[in-house]
Structure 1
Amino acid sequence: MIESNRREWMMGGAVIALAGASGNALANASSSSGLLPRSAKPLPLSAVRLRPSDYATAVEVNRAYLLRLSADRLLHNFRKYAGLQPKAEIYGGWEGDTIAGHTLGHYMSALVLMYEQTGDADCRKRADYIVDELAVAQQARGNGYIGAMQRKRKDATVVDAIEIFPEIMKGDIRSGGFDLNGAWSPLYTVHKLYAGLLDIHGSWGNPKALAVLIAFAGYFEPVFAALDDAQMQEMLSCEYGGLNESYAELYARTGDRKWLATAQRIYDRKVLDPLEAGQDKLANFHANTQVPKLIGLARIYELTNQPAPKAGAGFFWQAVTQHHSYVIGGNADREYFSEPDTIADHITEQTCEHCNSYNMLKLTEHLYGWNPDGALFDYYERTHLNHIMAAQDPKTAGFTYMTPLMTGAVRGYSTPDDDAFWCCVGTGMESHSKHGAAIFWEGGNALLVNLYIPSEVHWKARGADLVLDTRYPFEPQSRLTLTTLAKPGRFPIALRVPGWANGKAVLTVNGKPVLPTFAQGYAILERKWKQGDVVTIDLPLELRTEAAAGDPDTIAILRGPMVLAADLGTTDGDWNKPDPAMVGDDVLSAFSATDAAAGTYATHGVIRPADLTFVPFYRQYERRSAVYFKHFTEASWKTEEAAYVADQARLKDIAARSVDAVHLGEMQQEHDHKLTSDISYPVTYRGRNGRDARSGGYFAFEMKTKPGPLILQATYWGGERGNRFDILVDDVKVATQTLHDDKPGKFFDIEYPLPEALTRGKSVLRVKFLPHDRSTAGPVFGVVLFTAKPGATA
């Protein structure tokens, strides 16, 4: 049993241990062994078939889900706004909002991936049908545009979002980060449609998909051309997904350099300039808004060989994976990056948006293709196993938005009905269509095995069929068999040795031990291969601890690449117990395997208040978990126990009585709570987002309510100087607040009991913060509405 930290596995600890070489995952030099290629590409997904495993189950569950969805329902608004009769009713959730249409783009991509992964002809047929329908809608419009997006006008009427683009061309650009002239991230949705069309064209060469895309892109050509650089930056302050990547890829398909010029112009200077300069200024940026931009830079580098995009993409990957990631590989708290190395302060119920990891894995594949290094796939494997696999419920085919790491938090999955269609439903349907996508790679004359997932593959370059048999990460051995080999001969096979293995990999060929060459995180066997040869690799699946960035005493437990979690029971009822803690000088010695093949461990005397069973985190679909633990020595626990338990009890008490909460300054939260404002601005203090309103302005939002005595709690910063404002609920003043600098250096909460007469019979309250003349309301760093304790009166 060993202990490790994030940087050891991220930066290629195996490379250092095995070869004494630098572990820089983004080094430009090729392997000193000369056996690894200077670049690589994955074997086609269509050449890979999965064998039975949790991954194969996820694909089959997702295939049934994709075929259960109605293409005509997703096409509803595309036909409606083209003046055509819809063929089916529209879905609900986000598809019934102003971001309508984004799901269709994801759906097209998912159908392509599922066709390639499984060969299911129905998926291809459905994708072609969608292209035909989009072509009909495009022809009906007559201007190249296709779209389902909606625009909410100031009078609250909802119309076709196409009307915002003439406004933008005139320089009338109004963006709130997610809102652009009344439409919800419209260019983000455009990117999803571009990507879906590109995927259909790229997979089986559907010419109509490319023709529709070229006409669609042609609609936006004069829109972008009408904007000067400042106006372009103003427009790009609204989320635009990876639109730069799509234009770069359109250039690659057509050779038309105007599309490359557009891709290069879609460049958010505020975010990307610091990254290209090697500066981490990610704190308080919406995380998934940024990741696709870097994928776009990576694609632009591949097409132009310009160093700046490569540097930006590489630095971003290093910054996120080393300084902004949780133990499961995901990132962001409530969708936002925090300051570097502050993960320990952000273990909440809203960690790890799925879209972020979906996109980070795409970026990883780009970087790996430039220079194969096993450390990149150490990150990929961890995130793929512990986050992506946790984000689908195999019983229901539902997807998570967040994968919460706060102790006792429940994963919230979408349903097969029409109540969701979040962004993460879209990336979920893609992620679980392609679990064979990154297992096998080739470069030069070498075959590289990066993921140990049961599968079969055809390697066209050698006329080879290979089978990878394994129960990894539950069992240590993986077995690769060359079942056919039309072109036998001498070539390298490179098997990834993760950094956490610390050089303990054992390899055999045809049952006989062999000594491979170790380089850049790989065990490399170069020999004359023949049909029937069998290679095995055994990796030590030892337990280890890993500290959360920012606090060495906040730790998680891993077994090989797999994050373990304490099983806290079913999701029934509320979780109102104190967080368990780990106490002892050698916590790992208190673990014993009860079913190693299932990754199950018992603990003995190390957990307070009582021992718990540890299981694979990703499989806790409908169970509560504890992943991160505060670690105390026996001596420090005696000192801290009372304060620790009391503080946990206070937080749990508030959480248990919570009716609704608003995280101000976070665009998605504000959108969901229907925030309106004037002369009001998001702010950031000490890594926390909030909002204020200046003299003459206000901000207001809706909160769910329930019968009985309620308390409104607001969070403030203790260093303000006399800000004075009123708090109103449904236009009734409930408090006048003055903020002083009498609590410097910390946030604090103030409670405002609400009269029952004010809330009786209501399901929603509207809360308003109104500054006094020549003063400021707030800043406010979150508002919680919770029930009063029994016996309390307002």
Structure 2
Amino acid sequence: MPLNTPRRQFVKGLGATAALATVPRGVHAVTGGALPARARPLPLAAVRLLPGPMLDAVLTNTEYLHRLEPDRLLHNFYTGAGLPPKGEVYGGWEGDTIAGHTLGHYLSALSLTHAQTGDSESCRRVQYIVDELQRIQAQRGDGYVAGLTRKRPDGTIADGQEIFPEIMRGEIISGGFDLNGAWAPLYTIHKLFAGLLDAQHYCGVSNALPVALGFASYLEKVFLALSDEQLQQVLACEYGGLNESFAEFYARTGDARWLAVARRLYDQRVLDPLMAGRDELANFHANTQVPKLVGLARIAELDGDRERAGAARFFWQRVTGHHSYVIGGNADREYFFEPDRIADHITEQTCEHCNSYNMLRLTRRLYGQRPDAALFDYYERTHLNHIMAAQHPETGMFTYMTPLMAGSAREYSTPFDSFWCCVGSGMESHAKHGESIFWEGEGGGDPVLFVNQYIPAQAGWAATGARLRLQTTYPHGADSTLEVLTPGSDGAFTLALRIPGWAEGFTVKLNGEPVAPLLEAGYALVTRRWNAGDRLALHLTLSLREEVTPGDASTVALLHGPLVMAADLGPASDVYEGMVPALVGEAPLEKAVQGDSGTAAYRISAEVARPGALSLVPFYSQYERRSAVYFRRFSESQWTEEEAALVAAQRAERELAARSVAVIHLGEMQPERDCNLTSEISYPVVYRGRHGRDARMQGFFEFDLPVVPGELILQATYWGGERRRKFRILLDGEELARQELEAPQPGEFMTVSYPVPEPFTRNRQQVRVRFEPIGRHTAGPVFGIRLLRPSVAGASS
């Protein structure tokens, strides 16, 4: 079912059960409409995590943050300003034209770590970095301070500030991720702004906001020089949540000029349909869009713009209900696809971590505007099953994608040579696991404290003076207890416990006695004058259940409470060559046997599991294991018919994979960078859900492919209904083939094989593949490249 399934049915049923309980003396059920209209989280510094996986993740992350050297992250900031660097530049993305984005994430992560743990070293580093940025900004003299670079048309690398005078003159060359030769420069700047804002908020660094506002003034001049049409050209390149940053500048200064900039940073192509209530997300790069909606929601908070608030909420509903996998993540190979087509996109490239990081930020923003437990049903699921899956608990390294294809394994960053976007968002995610456990009602009325996540923690509630401690066996077990350590000066307030939407039943007890709480918007509310030592206990009914995949009732996932369960398919170090597991029969979960009581572990016998018995464990914990998360459901008769076809199809896929030397997904950011793609007059394209690239007249695109000795086959995939195209394919400057397309196979994609003679691979480890048009034609679009060995029989496939 969609992740945002309406909650009214289960609330109605559970309310009848709860009403049977006896209400202890001193407890009263509050009247309807008791929930406040708005809420805010308790400050992160007021929450301390208690021992458990979340605290372990924070401590592991802190250790990694302390291993990083601020001077190395500042390298390009120094050199761009003409100052000598104090450390060598890091590798990975920090060695590319997006350099500097990690520093912004790092500032945020350090600031959050200080708030979450009290770590003084984190704030010391924050203050040092901001002081250095202030010095660098003064050296430049115009407010600009960034570490990004740009690649000039002649191929040389220069300081990224060069692009802004060009843009102001109307010389704008913008694509999905490239702006005048710089990789998503406004995205990079947004990360720096966010880091500086966090430095001020969490560490109290007084010069952080002035540095940010100085740079904001520089950008304001750039934007003011552009017409609305020119600005839309600029915004066609990923700009992160830059609108949110400018809105926050307004919130902290009261200067309306910043809100005006924030409102103008509005990508019409993406946001207009959402404002009109239309889901046209398919084929858009997912993480490029989510921060824009976070920004819209923040702007709406500040100026009361209901239309923008509605667009942000509509986007959240569509993504969580129609574009999200069972673990809460979204997108295949970074892109949204058609709604309710999850089952068609269960691949090894699912669920970019940044997407979920930003979706949780949007969820928090929407929850603060209108508290509803359904929002935290999604938040909890994503936090437990995706965010926790993305950090290796021993090394502290991070995933980019979290693969859901059966038999796939996670790949992690390296400490000093990755610095992907998901490394940056990973640093932040695992610095703040206590940020959304407790929320307080905002506005008039009696004090209300929401418990939205069941994570062991202790909190101080400044509004009442109360201190509370939450202990729990959740999510593996069913019990959570909230103890009032000190009730505060008055002691009269409401505790609102979130009852998850999946719950089949629950009980609430106060000091061991049953309570009949009021149920409202997914919460069990108990109001009284609390005493020190009072204990409010929640027991939830946990069981293994199926969840149907939106759009395909024959594909299901299995969950234990909020935990997505995975079939353990063996160590990541071993190649998985088995079949995709399936469930057969009318009620296969009746054959599931739970492990020790209170654990999230099950075994399903071979009587109903195919090709054999399955061991089910929480998906997030499969750090070094291969998993299956989605299962096809068959009746006995269907399985008999399908088994032979499944075996044959999977055998063909394995054989193709075994023969493959390299596979390149053209038109996608990271794969193109991995193969060192360069191009001129060439553009990424999307057609029928597939990404590709073409080269227009006088243009080209070229990339590296690894090779092995001997004859090979180069396969290229095209759209079979293409209008006339003529182009050449070259290997290391020598013509391999000429291709002409003119609707050879209308209505379907087609793959063409080109034999690669042995001389092309002799004494080489890689070749440079180039596609270039002939005459006034277009090369491609090409929707994928595969280099493979000939079949065993020597045929050319």
TM-score interval, smaller chain: over 0.9
The AA in structure 2 aligned to 1:780 is V
Change in CA separation of 1:782 and 1:271 when aligned onto 2, cut-off 3 Å: same
Q: Which residue of 2 aligns with 1:462?
A: 464
Where 1:159 maps in the other structure, the secondary structure is: strand
| CA distance in structure 2 between the aligned counterparts of 1:746 and 1:602, rounded to whole angstroms | 42
Structure-to-structure mapping, 1:432-451, within 5 angstroms: 432-443=430-441, 444=445, 445-451=447-453
Q: Which residue of 2 aligns with 1:135?
A: 134
Match of 1:764 among 748, 763, 766: 766
Deviates more, 1:208-217 or 1:241-250: 208-217
Structure-to-structure mapping, 1:563-602, within 5 angstroms: 563-602=564-603
Instruction: Please report how far the alpha carbon of residue 722 of structure 1 lies from its aligned counterpart in structure 2 after TM superposition.
Output: 5.5
Q: Which residue of 1 aligns with 2:542?
A: 541
Change in CA separation of 1:765 and 1:577 when aligned onto 2, cut-off 3 Å: farther
Q: Which residue of 1 aligns with 2:22?
A: none
Q: Which residue of 1 aligns with 2:560?
A: 559
Instruction: Please report how far the alpha carbon of residue 43 of structure 1 lies from its aligned counterpart in structure 2 after TM superposition.
Output: 0.5
Q: TM-score normalised to the size of structure 2?
A: 0.94
Change in CA separation of 1:349 and 1:105 when aligned onto 2, cut-off 3 Å: same
Structure 1: 4+ residue segments shifted above 6 A: none
The AA in structure 1 aligned to 2:620 is Y
Instruction: State the Cα deviation string for residues 463-515 of structure 1 (Å, max 9, x = none).
Output: 1111111110110000110011123443221100111114x111100001111
Where 1:270 maps in the other structure, the secondary structure is: helix
The AA in structure 2 aligned to 1:34 is G
Does the 8 Å contact 1:57/1:394 carry over to 2? Answer: yes
Change in CA separation of 1:681 and 1:156 when aligned onto 2, cut-off 3 Å: closer
Does the 8 Å contact 1:10/1:378 carry over to 2? Answer: no
Instruction: Please report how far the alpha carbon of residue 106 of structure 1 lies from its aligned counterpart in structure 2 after TM superposition.
Output: 0.3
Deviates more, 1:165-174 or 1:564-573: 564-573
Instruction: State the Cα deviation string for residues 653-702 of structure 1 (Å, max 9, x = none).
Output: 22333332222222333333333344544333222222334555443322
Instruction: Please report how far the alpha carbon of residue 787 of structure 1 lies from its aligned counterpart in structure 2 after TM superposition.
Output: 3.0
Q: Which residue of 2 aligns with 1:666?
A: 668
| CA distance in structure 2 between the aligned counterparts of 1:607 and 1:246, rounded to whole angstroms | 51
Q: Which residue of 2 aligns with 1:28?
A: none
Q: Which residue of 2 aligns with 1:26?
A: none
Q: Which residue of 2 aligns with 1:27?
A: none
| CA distance in structure 2 between the aligned counterparts of 1:203 and 1:582, rounded to whole angstroms | 49
Where 2:463 maps in the other structure, the secondary structure is: helix
| CA distance in structure 2 between the aligned counterparts of 1:90 and 1:693, rounded to whole angstroms | 33
Q: Which residue of 2 aligns with 1:618?
A: 620
Does the 8 Å contact 2:4/2:320 carry over to 1? Answer: no
Instruction: Please report how far the alpha carbon of residue 535 of structure 1 lies from its aligned counterpart in structure 2 after TM superposition.
Output: 0.6
Does the 8 Å contact 2:518/2:524 carry over to 1? Answer: yes
Instruction: Please report how far the alpha carbon of residue 601 of structure 1 lies from its aligned counterpart in structure 2 after TM superposition.
Output: 0.9
Matched, 1:6 2:2: yes
Instruction: State the Cα deviation string for residues 689-719 of structure 1 (Å, max 9, x = none).
Output: 2233455544332223333443222223333
The AA in structure 2 aligned to 1:564 is M
Structure-to-structure mapping, 1:285-684, within 5 angstroms: 285-416=284-415, 418-443=416-441, 444=445, 445-502=447-504, 504-604=505-605, 605-684=607-686
Does the 8 Å contact 1:679/1:697 carry over to 2? Answer: yes
Q: Which residue of 1 aligns with 2:154?
A: 155
Instruction: Please report how far the alpha carbon of residue 630 of structure 1 lies from its aligned counterpart in structure 2 after TM superposition.
Output: 1.6
Instruction: State the Cα deviation string for residues 752-787 of structure 1 (Å, max 9, x = none).
Output: 332222122222222233445565443322112233
Q: Which residue of 2 aligns with 1:706?
A: 708
Deviates more, 1:605-614 or 1:742-751: 742-751
Matched, 1:69 2:71: no
Does the 8 Å contact 1:482/1:532 carry over to 2? Answer: yes
Change in CA separation of 1:556 and 1:12 when aligned onto 2, cut-off 3 Å: farther
The AA in structure 2 aligned to 1:339 is E
Deviates more, 1:403-412 or 1:31-40: 31-40
Q: Which residue of 2 aligns with 1:25?
A: none
Q: Which residue of 2 aligns with 1:23?
A: none
Instruction: Please report how far the alpha carbon of residue 340 of structure 1 lies from its aligned counterpart in structure 2 after TM superposition.
Output: 1.0
Match of 2:732 among 711, 730, 733: 730
| CA distance in structure 2 between the aligned counterparts of 1:778 and 1:32, rounded to whole angstroms | 66
| CA distance in structure 1 between the aligned counterparts of 2:114 and 2:98, rounded to whole angstroms | 27
Matched, 1:55 2:54: yes
| CA distance in structure 2 between the aligned counterparts of 1:157 and 1:741, rounded to whole angstroms | 40
Aligned residues: 778
Change in CA separation of 1:369 and 1:32 when aligned onto 2, cut-off 3 Å: farther
Q: Which residue of 2 aligns with 1:718?
A: 720
Instruction: State the Cα deviation string for residues 587-613 of structure 1 (Å, max 9, x = none).
Output: 211211123544111111222211121
| CA distance in structure 1 between the aligned counterparts of 2:563 and 2:37, rounded to whole angstroms | 30
Change in CA separation of 1:148 and 1:7 when aligned onto 2, cut-off 3 Å: closer
Change in CA separation of 1:318 and 1:133 when aligned onto 2, cut-off 3 Å: same
Instruction: State the Cα deviation string for residues 412-454 of structure 1 (Å, max 9, x = none).
Output: 10122x2100000000000000000000000051010000001
The AA in structure 1 aligned to 2:585 is G
Where 1:393 maps in the other structure, the secondary structure is: coil
The AA in structure 2 aligned to 1:170 is R
Q: Which residue of 2 aligns with 1:102?
A: 101
| CA distance in structure 2 between the aligned counterparts of 1:693 and 1:69, rounded to whole angstroms | 41
| CA distance in structure 2 between the aligned counterparts of 1:488 and 1:100, rounded to whole angstroms | 53
Instruction: State the Cα deviation string for residues 260-302 of structure 1 (Å, max 9, x = none).
Output: 1111111111111111111111111110011111111111011
Instruction: State the Cα deviation string for residues 35-71 of structure 1 (Å, max 9, x = none).
Output: 2111000001101111111111100100111111111
Deviates more, 1:548-557 or 1:380-389: 548-557
| CA distance in structure 1 between the aligned counterparts of 2:707 and 2:198, rounded to whole angstroms | 45
Change in CA separation of 1:51 and 1:13 when aligned onto 2, cut-off 3 Å: farther
**Unpaired segments ≥5 residues, structure 1:** 21-30
| CA distance in structure 2 between the aligned counterparts of 1:786 and 1:562, rounded to whole angstroms | 40
| CA distance in structure 1 between the aligned counterparts of 2:11 and 2:292, rounded to whole angstroms | 30
Instruction: Please report how far the alpha carbon of residue 135 of structure 1 lies from its aligned counterpart in structure 2 after TM superposition.
Output: 0.8
Does the 8 Å contact 1:516/1:523 carry over to 2? Answer: yes
Does the 8 Å contact 1:483/1:531 carry over to 2? Answer: yes
Where 2:388 maps in the other structure, the secondary structure is: helix
Instruction: Please report how far the alpha carbon of residue 214 of structure 1 lies from its aligned counterpart in structure 2 after TM superposition.
Output: 1.3
Does the 8 Å contact 1:576/1:656 carry over to 2? Answer: no
Structure-to-structure mapping, 1:209-224, within 5 angstroms: 209-224=208-223
Deviates more, 1:375-384 or 1:442-451: 442-451
| CA distance in structure 1 between the aligned counterparts of 2:655 and 2:320, rounded to whole angstroms | 34
Change in CA separation of 1:774 and 1:153 when aligned onto 2, cut-off 3 Å: closer
Does the 8 Å contact 1:102/1:193 carry over to 2? Answer: yes
Where 2:492 maps in the other structure, the secondary structure is: strand
| CA distance in structure 1 between the aligned counterparts of 2:6 and 2:409, rounded to whole angstroms | 28
| CA distance in structure 2 between the aligned counterparts of 1:577 and 1:765, rounded to whole angstroms | 33
The AA in structure 2 aligned to 1:659 is V
**Unpaired segments ≥5 residues, structure 2:** 17-29
| CA distance in structure 1 between the aligned counterparts of 2:764 and 2:647, rounded to whole angstroms | 36
The AA in structure 1 aligned to 2:90 is Y
| CA distance in structure 2 between the aligned counterparts of 1:7 and 1:289, rounded to whole angstroms | 22
| CA distance in structure 1 between the aligned counterparts of 2:358 and 2:393, rounded to whole angstroms | 22
| CA distance in structure 2 between the aligned counterparts of 1:33 and 1:101, rounded to whole angstroms | 51
Change in CA separation of 1:211 and 1:765 when aligned onto 2, cut-off 3 Å: same
Change in CA separation of 1:348 and 1:176 when aligned onto 2, cut-off 3 Å: same
Does the 8 Å contact 1:601/1:613 carry over to 2? Answer: yes
Change in CA separation of 1:776 and 1:85 when aligned onto 2, cut-off 3 Å: closer
| CA distance in structure 2 between the aligned counterparts of 1:767 and 1:209, rounded to whole angstroms | 47
Change in CA separation of 1:749 and 1:590 when aligned onto 2, cut-off 3 Å: farther
Does the 8 Å contact 1:248/1:299 carry over to 2? Answer: yes
Does the 8 Å contact 2:4/2:321 carry over to 1? Answer: no
Does the 8 Å contact 2:2/2:322 carry over to 1? Answer: no
Where 2:395 maps in the other structure, the secondary structure is: coil
Q: Which residue of 2 aligns with 1:278?
A: 277
Does the 8 Å contact 1:492/1:524 carry over to 2? Answer: yes
Q: Which residue of 2 aligns with 1:260?
A: 259
Change in CA separation of 1:632 and 1:736 when aligned onto 2, cut-off 3 Å: farther
Change in CA separation of 1:448 and 1:164 when aligned onto 2, cut-off 3 Å: same
Does the 8 Å contact 1:447/1:494 carry over to 2? Answer: yes
Instruction: State the Cα deviation string for residues 321-370 of structure 1 (Å, max 9, x = none).
Output: 01110000000111000011111111111100000000000000010001
